[in-house]
Amino acid sequence: MKVLVREQYHKPMTKIPRLSLLMITVFLTACVSYIPHPLKPDENLAILDARHIDDAALMTRLHEHYPQYNWPPAYWNLTQLNLMATEIHPEIAQAKAEFQLAQASLQSSQTLPNPQLNLTKQHTSNPPDGQGSWTTGVGLDFLLETAGKRDAKQRFAAQKLAVAQAGLINAQWQLRAHIRDALLALSEAKSTQFFLQKQISLVNSSVEAWNNRVMMGMSARSEQLAVEAHLTDLKQQLTTAIHDESDARHQLATALGLTPKAIEHLSLSLPVANIVLPSDGDSITATALQKRADIQASLAEYAASEAKLQFEVAKQYPDITLSPSYSWDAQSMIWSLGVGLALPLFNHNQSGIAEAEADRQVAKTRFEALQLNCRNAIEQAEKNEKTTALMELQAKEATQIAMNRLHAAENAFKAGATDRVQLLEIRETQIAMQHAQAQAEFNHARAVATLEDALQLPLNTFQDAVKP
């Protein structure tokens, strides 16, 4: 700096603007240029419509990240669908972008403030004989943050990063849950269609048998009409099940971050329950109430509010600005050092502290409410799981009884002790019991899924059943 200003005074004064221009040019060479990236809804919509589950670039990326699987698989299971959706789903991309934003904020909090350069030029209206009328000086302002403000800002940014990381984990869990629920709904709809079609076939045969009995005068027409009404009801249920399958496919497409058209020809390995409940439920619950992603995010939010309060308290104490400067006047080199700080005359940042304290109290109550809600949700989910497990066991027993009754009816029919109409009715009842058992199994699987979400712990590994 000393040599630089000496040059300014040994050479014509016109060199000073050139020097300033040179310094500005040097600074600008290290700057990043702004590149606009406007959003165009029509182009984005076209990209979404063109996205397909068998996209070659997507398959390459999946093979690089998860080489233990074949991409694309012949039949997609829950794990493979979840891995694929993690790569393309907009909500996961949003969570990753928020995590990157938090990383950038942490990096920004660690950056030292740049000094400020001051170039001054003073004019003297009546200078001594033989001396110029202009005096030039140069100075720097260095900001020194006091009372641990910089550390508090870094702690705040670090906790916000923890919030974003927990948000990403929670988004990934929610993605798996949505795909799981869609697959369960799709599997249930197909199962319902399977049993209803078998029931309809048997009841159709029963209607024909009843028609023969009515024509022979062995039964009243009202009895045949009751069977026909039952057949109509089964057909309506089948129509509903077909509609439910369509809804489940739309639900699955949404869960995967794709359009329904993109998964029209997708071959799925529909899930079969493989429930493994933890032996130490109390320990698992206690862990979940501390380690769930939303619990961790809430804890980090509270820690961030603490850091913010610490920063606001530190702002009571003014930062110090050191201002060394140098000038040349009348062939004299003048060095000076200035110290500046804000005077807390009108306030001591009481409003900022009060706001930060209130923010910390809000974070505290949010955490308490969240933990209570999570605990209640876990307890309710555990009760529902036990109830549906019992109902599933009872449905299996009822199915076995219906099967025994069918065997007895078939033997009686062979012996001529019963007619075909009664045998068809017993067969249809046995199929209905199988259907009820399947419904009970799906109800149990949904209850376990709810418990999974409450614990954020996979309890149903879903064995693959390659039955598209």
Indicate whether 6 pLDDT > 50: no
Q: Quick one: 8 and 91 in the same domain?
A: no
Which segment of 11-15, 72-76, 180-184, 300-304 scores lowest on mean pLDDT?
Answer: 11-15
The first and second tokens of residue 324, run together, are 């060394």
Whether 359 is in a domain gets the answer: yes
13 and 55 in a single domain? The answer is no
The pLDDT value recorded for residue 9 is: 38
Task: Quote the percentage of the chain above a pLDDT of 70.
Answer: 88
Does residue 164 lie within any of the structural domains? yes
> How many folded domains does the chain comprise?
2
Is the bond preceding 41 in cis, omega lying within 30 degrees of 0?
Answer: no
CA distances from 129 to 8, 14, 269 (A): 21, 22, 99
Residue 392 lies in a domain: yes
What pLDDT score does 3 carry?
36
Whether residues 342 and 445 share a domain: the answer is yes
Long-range contacts of 439-442 (CB under 8 A, 24+ apart): 439/188, 439/192, 439/395, 440/388, 440/391, 440/392, 440/394, 440/395, 440/396, 441/273, 441/392, 441/395, 442/184, 442/187, 442/188, 442/191
pLDDT at residue 326, rounded to an integer: 82
Least reliable range by pLDDT among 118-122, 229-233, 359-363: 118-122
Helix (H) / strand (E) containing 55 = none
Name the 3-class secondary structure at 26: helix
- The pLDDT tens digits for 411-461 are 998 988 888 888 999 999 999 999 999 999 999 999 999 999 999 988 765
For residues 292 and 360, membership in a common domain is answered with yes
Residue recorded with tokens 């948000």: 167
Q: Let me know whether 16 and 93 are in one domain.
A: no
Neighbours of 340 (CB within 10 A): 12
Distance in angstroms (rounded) separating the CA atoms of residues 462 and 44: 35
The answer to whether position 73 is within a domain reads yes
Q: What's the CA gap between 208 and 124, in Å, rounded? A: 120
If asked whether residues 3 and 91 sit together in one domain, one would say: no
Q: How confident is the model at residue 19 (pLDDT cuts 50, 70, 90)?
A: low
Kindly state whether residues 53 and 25 are assigned to the same domain: no
The whole-number average pLDDT for the span 211-222 is 77
State whether 58 and 115 are in the same domain.
yes
Residues 97 and 191 placed together within one structural domain of the fold = yes
> Domain check: are 107 and 214 in the same one?
yes
Q: What is the pLDDT of residue 98?
A: 96
| 111 lies in the same domain as 24 | no
**For 314-336, what is each residue's pLDDT tens digit?**
999 999 999 998 887 666 778 88
Is residue 130 included in any domain, yes or no? no
SS3 129: coil
Domain that holds residue 290: 43-121+139-457
| Residue 61 identity (one-letter amino acid) | R
Closest CA to 467 of 190, 208, 110, 243: 190
* 311 and 408 housed in the same domain: yes
The string of pLDDT tens digits covering residues 357-416 is 999 999 999 999 999 999 999 999 999 999 999 999 999 999 999 999 999 999 998 988
CATH of the domain at 351: 1.20.1600.10
Is the residue at 464 inside a domain?
A: no
Q: How confident is the model at residue 342 (pLDDT cuts 50, 70, 90)?
A: confident
Give residue-wise pLDDT tens across range 75-112: 898 999 999 999 999 999 999 999 999 999 999 999 99
End-to-end CA distance of the chain: 78
Mean pLDDT of the chain: 86
463 within a domain of the structure (yes/no)? no
**Distances from the Cα of 182 to the Cαs of 242, 249, 346, in angstroms?**
15, 7, 61
- Give 31 or 23, the one with higher predicted confidence: 31
The reported pTM is 0.84
Residue 128 covered by a domain: no
